[in-house]
Amino acid sequence: MVVTGRAQVVGLGLMGSSISGALRANGWHVTGRDVDADRAARAAGIGVVDSLGSDSFADVAFVATPASAVVSVVHDLFSTSQASRLIVTDIAGVKGSIVNELSYPRFVAGHPMAGSEQEGPDGADAELFIGATWVLTPTEITDPAAFTTLQSIIAAIGADVVALSPDRHDELVAVISHVPHLTSATLMGLAGESSLDHAALMRLAAGGFRDMTRIAAGSPAIWPDICRDNAGAIVPVLDRLIEQLSAVRRIVAEGDWLALSERLEGARTARQNLPLRGARPAAVAELRVIVPDRPGVLAEVTTLAGELGVNIFDLEIAHSAEGPSGVLVLVVDAAMAEPVVAALRAHSYRVAWTTAK
């Protein structure tokens, strides 16, 4: 499915500008706005957007503002839209706190797992999302047609959509993003402690330390918002990290080298199994799921796949001519088709699948 039309992008920082550029490259007419007039003018000046301002006829809106502004911007977009079926999404790093405040069936919250050291429209990269994972967090009120359309828009700019529940997303990003960031800054802070000789230490800092503290060089501005919005997930993960580091401390102090080796081996294996960003499957499978026509089915089916780490390459809803059920067609990595089918069947779905395409 190829979708183009009119898009509104709110917030023209690096991410909003990159989304704008990617949409334009796909034939969209993009209207952008930003509370910072200079930044908006810059984005227009370098051709990241087609025009500036508000397009009340936009078919889709991407809210790329700071997280704290998302809820009010989404309300504003829906209340001023004159389009028949506006779809709105956002890109904030924490989803539960936003999704809980908004009950529009055609608002589908999202989080593209991509970024850059650059800032602002000048850092925009229309290819930033190629091969990136882009989480969408459908809920039981989500309009399946809105989700399907948004999935194809995002797939067209090169990202792989993974569906997760908002809470699940927040728990996972606490582990793979928020707590690592806080840890990186803390390690850097230790190295900067005055009791240590900073200069000699910095001289010795080789590749591993540089790798581990790289993210600490990023702008701190977004972190108070993220930590406030996701404290519920971050605090328990920090507790687990502290507990595990205390166990390592005990192991080193007591000289239990077997336990140390086991831990390091386990971590090594896990790290080596980290999938490559944007690795493409050798083959895809088409799953046809018979779905009852009730709310929440789309969220349930797609997030069952998301929980297994499976991204959705394509998605279509075929309503049945007879009776209240339909068919949801999911295209996924063929190698993951069996576990997804098993998970769906365990949830009482009827599924047929082929490795067609």
Q: Using CB under 8 A, which residues numbered 181 to 200 contact a second copy?
A: 181-193, 196-200
Which residue, 4 or 246, is less far from a second copy as judged by CB? 246
Instruction: Kindly tell me which residue out of 270, 282, 321, 346 binds a second copy, with binding defined by CB under 8 A.
Output: 270
Q: Bridge-partner residues for 234, per DSSP?
A: none
Residue in this structure with the two tokens 């018979």, named with its chain if needed: 290
Q: Least Å distance between CB 81 and a second copy?
A: 31
Total residues contacting a second copy by CB under 8 A comes to 98
> What backbone phi and psi angles, to 5 degrees, belong to 161?
-80, 130
Per CB under 8 A, 347 contacts a second copy? no
262/334 Cα distance (integer angstroms):
33
Q: Where are the beta strands (DSSP E) in 18-128?
A: 29-33, 51-52, 60-63, 87-90, 110-113
Per CB under 8 A, 228 contacts a second copy? yes
Q: What is the amino acid identity at position 350?
A: R
Map residue 66 onto helix, strand or coil: coil
Q: Least Å distance between CB 237 and a second copy?
A: 7
CB distance 52 to 41 below 8 Å: yes
Q: Least Å distance between CB 352 and a second copy?
A: 23
Q: Least Å distance between CB 133 and a second copy?
A: 5
Q: Least Å distance between CB 295 and a second copy?
A: 23
Q: Least Å distance between CB 278 and a second copy?
A: 11
Per CB under 8 A, 241 contacts a second copy? yes
Q: What is the amino acid identity at position 220?
A: P
Which residue, 246 or 320, is less far from a second copy as judged by CB? 246
Which residue, 293 or 338, is less far from a second copy as judged by CB? 338
Per CB under 8 A, 175 contacts a second copy? yes
Which residue, 8 or 151, is less far from a second copy as judged by CB? 151
x/- contact string, 100-139, with a second copy (CB under 8 A)? -------------xxx----------------xx-x----
Map residue 48 onto helix, strand or coil: coil
Q: Using CB under 8 A, which residues numbered 243 to 262 contact a second copy?
A: 244-246, 248-249, 252-253, 255, 257, 260-261
Which residue, 122 or 239, is less far from a second copy as judged by CB? 239
Per CB under 8 A, 235 contacts a second copy? yes
DSSP character string of 254-275: HT-HHHHHHHHHHHHHHHHTSP
Which residue, 27 or 189, is less far from a second copy as judged by CB? 189
Distances (CA, A) of 107 to 81, 99, 130, 221: 13, 9, 23, 26
Q: Using CB under 8 A, which residues numbered 54 to 83 contact a second copy?
A: none
Q: Using CB under 8 A, which residues numbered 197 to 226 contact a second copy?
A: 197-220, 223-224
Instruction: Kindly tell me which residue out of 310, 337, 341, 351 binds a second copy, with binding defined by CB under 8 A.
Output: 310
Q: What does the DSSP 8-state code read for residue 147? A: H
Q: What is the amino acid identity at position 124?
A: A
354/331 Cα distance (integer angstroms):
10
Which residue, 58 or 99, is less far from a second copy as judged by CB? 99
Q: Least Å distance between CB 192 and a second copy?
A: 4
CB distance 353 to 287 below 8 Å: yes
Direct distance between the N- and C-terminal alpha carbons of the chain, in angstroms, rounded to an integer: 15
Instruction: Kindly tell me which residue out of 20, 43, 168, 326 binds a second copy, with binding defined by CB under 8 A.
Output: 168
134/151 Cα distance (integer angstroms):
9
Q: Where are the beta strands (DSSP E) in the chain?
A: 6-10, 29-33, 51-52, 60-63, 87-90, 110-113, 133-136, 160-163, 284-292, 314-319, 325-333, 350-354
Q: Least Å distance between CB 141 and a second copy?
A: 22
Nearest Cα to Cα of residue 328 among 281, 278, 294 = 294
